Amino acid sequence: MIGKQIEVLLIEDNPEEDLLIRSALAEKHVTSLTFDVESATTLNQGKDILGKGTFDVVLMDLQLPDSVGIESLEAVRHVAPEVPVVVLTGLADEELGVRAVQEGAQDYLIRGEVDANLLSRSTRYAIERHRMMETLRSLALLDDLTGLYNRRGFLTLAERHAKLAGRTGRGVFVVFVDLDNMKWINDSLGHKAGDRALKDTARALNSTFRESDIIGRMGGDEFAVLGIESYVSSSEAIPERLAQNIENMNQDADLGYQLSLSVGLARIASNETIALDTLLERADQQMYEQKQLKKRAR
């Protein structure tokens, strides 16, 4: 990181604190690094800036004009989970800083105790710790074959997204997918063909769902997706969109087999509270019923 310019987003509504932090990061004798600081005075403004720019770290106050407490941190991490966050608190709010670290912030700093050395060091370490944790997380939560989340990764992230949806008044949907005829593909065409079918299924899911949706391989030939419904789109159109993408793949590639998926969909409205396990069970049951209908139709 020697000689690198660190892009910092500072979310702070107090102009005096803003100036103090900028001045501390500008002290050249502290480090060989340089810091380019962009400021936001509200959570919504910070989220907008995060969505448009590329930052190495966020420094943020949790007591903002339009948001207070841990929800401010959660909102920032939802918009830019790849960016580490250092929380700024008052002496009386040190307990909130500790909780923020428990909820995903890399560090917290107490106003009045922050000097140029401490601020620079905390910012650098936050970036490095976050990078290391992301590397470890990817090793533990990703499926080697498809590049999707594995079962553990899916359940971990889906639980967080479902809780966030509940706080923001959004509906949640779960799609459960089973790759049809996997045993026949493996037995007749070999396990390389079976691996390709799993990879093609992952590709179809990635092309069907949004980048913000959580897509996982639950094990074997089963996949699951969790998404938060937007205000302008409905989950009801998803099975048809996925079927169309599968049909296009079957037409464009000489696979030696027809890729076919059985799909179940379950959703909860914004005013409902249902455990993620229950939602998965509902989608799984609907998927199973569709698979049985296919078998009876042969």
Residues taking part in catalysis: 221
138-163 burial, b at 16+ Cβ within 10 Å, e below that, comes to eeebbbeebebbbeebbbbbbebbbe
Q: What is the 3-state secondary structure (H, E, C) of 191-224?
A: HHHHHHHHHHHHHHHHHHCCCCCEEEEEECCEEE
Closest CA to 203 of 156, 261, 155: 261
d(CA 278, CA 84): 33
- Judge whether 71 and 43 are in contact, CB under 8 Å: no
d(CA 158, CA 33): 37
Report residue 244 as tokens. 């169309």
- Judge whether 161 and 142 are in contact, CB under 8 Å: no
Question: Residue for token digits 């078998």?
Answer: 295
Report residue 190 as tokens. 């070999």
Closest CA to 7 of 53, 42, 41: 53
DSSP H helices, 37-181, are 43-52, 70-79, 94-102, 116-141, 151-168
